[in-house]
Amino acid sequence: MASFTRYLRSLKWTPLPLGVGFAVIAATQYRHTRKREMIPEIDIELPLWCRSTVLGSYVRTFGCDMTEAEVEDILQYNSLSSLFRRSLKPSSRPVNAASALTSPVDGTILQAGRGVTYSLGSFLGPNIWSGVSPDDGATADDSCYHNSCITDPDANELHQVVLYLAPGDYHRFHSPADWKVIHRRHFPGELLSVNPSFAAWIPNLFVLNERVAYIGTWKYGFFSMTAVGATNVGSVKTYFDEDLRTNERCRPSCTFSDKTFEGPGHNFTFSKGAPFGEFNLGSTIVLLFEAPKNSVMSVLPGQKIKMGEALLAPETFTDKTAGSDKDCVHNKGVER
């Protein structure tokens, strides 16, 4: 806080007329409201006579490959939203069997490797899933937070992969590994653009935007997948979490809501490649996970990738730590 105060004092401030200030506030609030209003608009059913023009223009502009879709005829999609969330032919996205971690989406790799470039405590909030008290400083000190996520610090490190979904990409996301979800945390927030050219200017962009974090375990320990909202895209749906409500105007952005998956009917174990959820239009997925220190990423920043392709080099992963979580994974996706 002290460093931030010093930074503010170092800035050169230019006084503005009071009317200009009110105008900026009004414009910002209007844009914020319009972003959240756009989701119902893209759900509006299009008359059959205009679908070829509207949807065809979108497909051409963003390079959507409709030959991969289960329904190739764009006239069968009654809205822009249904086109964004189109399902694909199963054969179009084979899942790499040799790698322990595969891409959950079609998109572009923004970041991949050890460590993170933002505050873990701010991004995920208090670590209550590993038995760490929110008052022990874990959210204030990132090194403490990092250590609280690692179950085997001698053998493992925390890694991350950030994937950006462009408007033309397949907009459903899948399980990137065999893992078990134990907790969900939803942060209402902004809907700032996550386009790489814009995100480069805002280091903590992912901390500001609306996001839904699913936290759990896999064969190497801690594992999380976070769906981050983007411009006009606060809407996130997951197929197993019926209580999740996103893109709500009345929710203050400085809060979060939790849900713990435990007890009868809440055993959510996913297999690699299983359907998990979907976005509207475009967004970002952030994977944070514990893995061996000798893990080697098989992707580089800027690389295009498709769902099911390897994120980690297969040869770096042996089954030395395979345990009960792996044994109870079901090929069909989620076990209730």
Residue whose C-alpha is closest to residue 84's, from 94, 74, 92, 93: 74
Distance CA 249, CA 251 (A): 6
Confidence of residue 114 (pLDDT cuts 50, 70, 90): confident
pLDDT score of 26: 34
Among 20-29, 53-62, 159-168, 301-310, the least confident range: 20-29
Mean pLDDT of the chain: 77
Confidence of residue 322 (pLDDT cuts 50, 70, 90): very low
User: Could you tell me the CA-to-CA distances from 32 to 29, 49, 119, 243 in Å, in that order?
Assistant: 5, 32, 24, 24
For 288-295, what is the mean pLDDT?
94
pLDDT score of 204: 66
| Residue located via tokens 């320990």 | 221
Report the catalytic residues. 106, 174, 283
In this prediction the pTM is 0.78
For 42-68, what is the mean pLDDT?
91
pLDDT score of 97: 94
In sequence order, what are the residues at sequence separation of 6 or more whose Cβ sits closer than 8 angstroms to the Cβ of residue 209? 189, 190, 191, 192, 194, 228, 229, 230
For 188-209, what is the mean pLDDT?
66
Q: Which range scores top for mean pLDDT: 116-120, 202-206, 252-256?
A: 116-120
Residue 273 has pLDDT above 80, yes or no: yes
